[in-house]
Amino acid sequence: MTFGFKQSANESFLLMVSVKSSMETLSQPHCSVTSHAFVQTTVSGIDLLRKNPCSTRAVSELPPRFLRHSDEHTVVGISAVLHAMNRFEDQTRSFESWGALAAPRHPGRLMAAQTLCSVRTKGVSGVSTQVIPQCLLHGMSSAVSVGLGMHGPNFGIGGGPDALQEGLTIAVGFLHTRIVPGIWMIFTQWDQEPVLSAEDGSPLSDSSICGLAMAIEPAGTQPARIRMSIDRSACSWNDQTKGPHARADHALRDLSQALDSIANGELARWSLSSGWGASLHVESLNSLSSREAA
């Protein structure tokens, strides 16, 4: 896993040690999902979403033109966070002390490719100074933190095909460090990356990009219908012999649909296997209570 982090190197190292330690000492770490939202748009719809990331007034508002240089993943991710904020019954809630974790799948590639085309036709003068910070793995989490006024830690996770599994695993362990009262966990991915023109880098296909934001809090601290947990009974952190796990391109959409179904009482449990032996479970607290009572 790869991390980007805005604090000092020592603080980053200590935080990661704390997360790993909490994961190793807990047999089945768990937390509550208190809100979530899924957002989808296309290449042609990005500019509209960039100007108006949330159609209804959100708990937190972005500064004007805040997303004008942002990568497509960041635009969709922040939009999902704003919509998830709107789903809280208590619209006076403050997220100032929350952390922001982002696990985009292949972020920055579109902007990087377009920049290379621009260099070829315009030279270095055609390269924006925003390219590097906006394309970095931690660009989305930083934008969420800065734009929405959060002061907890923020960092990017993964960035590759297994970003969903890696993000969920770190999110659950991160909460058990008790550093923050809650975190925003954001996932984004293209359904299929846009095909670009070899001449000027303009998109030739109107591909879809989606984002899922989840408000995650320690179990029992807030009213919730959904619990997320990690079953590491078959997991060994020191086992380096396991090969890569089969990657599900539609897992992010499946998770979003499962969260909706569980919240509506239509589904009891949804699971996702990781590549390192653990299983990630999202389940109804009502169903869980019934099983435990039985």
Residue 258 lies in a domain: no
More confident site: 275 or 123: 123
Query: What is residue 243's predicted lDDT score, i.e. its pLDDT?
Result: 34
**Percent of the chain predicted with pLDDT > 70:** 80
Q: How confident is the model over 10-62, as pLDDT tens digits?
A: 454 444 444 455 555 555 688 999 999 999 999 999 999 999 999 876 666 78
For residue 63, give the CATH number of its domain. Answer: 3.40.47.10
> Which residue has better confidence, 229 or 241?
229
Query: Which pLDDT score, from 0 to 100, does residue 60 have?
Result: 66
Higher pLDDT, 183 or 123: 183
Q: What's residue 287's pLDDT?
A: 65
178-211, pLDDT tens digit by residue?
889 999 999 999 999 988 888 888 888 999 999 9
Cα–Cα distance for residue pair 13/220, rounded to 1 Å: 29
Number of domains in the chain: 1
Q: Under 8 Å CB-to-CB from 45, ≥6 apart: which residues?
A: none
User: Rounded to 5 degrees, what are φ and ψ at 215?
Assistant: -90, 120
Q: How many Å apart are CA 142 and CA 69, to the nearest integer?
A: 14
pLDDT at 8 over 70: no
Is the per-residue pLDDT at 99 higher than 80?
yes
State yes or no: pLDDT of 275 exceeds 80.
no
10, part of any domain: yes
Query: Greater confidence, 197 or 290?
Result: 197
Q: Token pair for residue 29?
A: 């770490």
In a domain, 243, yes or no: no
Distance, in Å, from the CA atom of 261 to the CA atom of 196, rounded to the nearest integer, reads: 37
**Is residue 170 classed exposed, middle or buried when 0-12, 13-18 and 19+ CB atoms within 10 A define those classes?**
buried
Chain centroid, CA 90 distance in Å: 23
**pLDDT value at position 242?**
37
Look up the domain containing 68 and give its range.
3-19+29-222
CA distance 274 to 247: 9
User: What pLDDT, on a 0 to 100 scale, did the predictor assign at position 238?
Assistant: 42
Average predicted confidence (pLDDT) for the chain = 82
271 domain residue, yes or no: no
Rounded Cα–Cα distance for residues 21 and 105 (Å): 26
- Sheet holding 269-273: strands in order across? 3-5, 154-157, 99-104, 183-190, 208-218, 30-42, 226-231, 279-284, 269-273
Residue 5 scores a pLDDT above 60: no
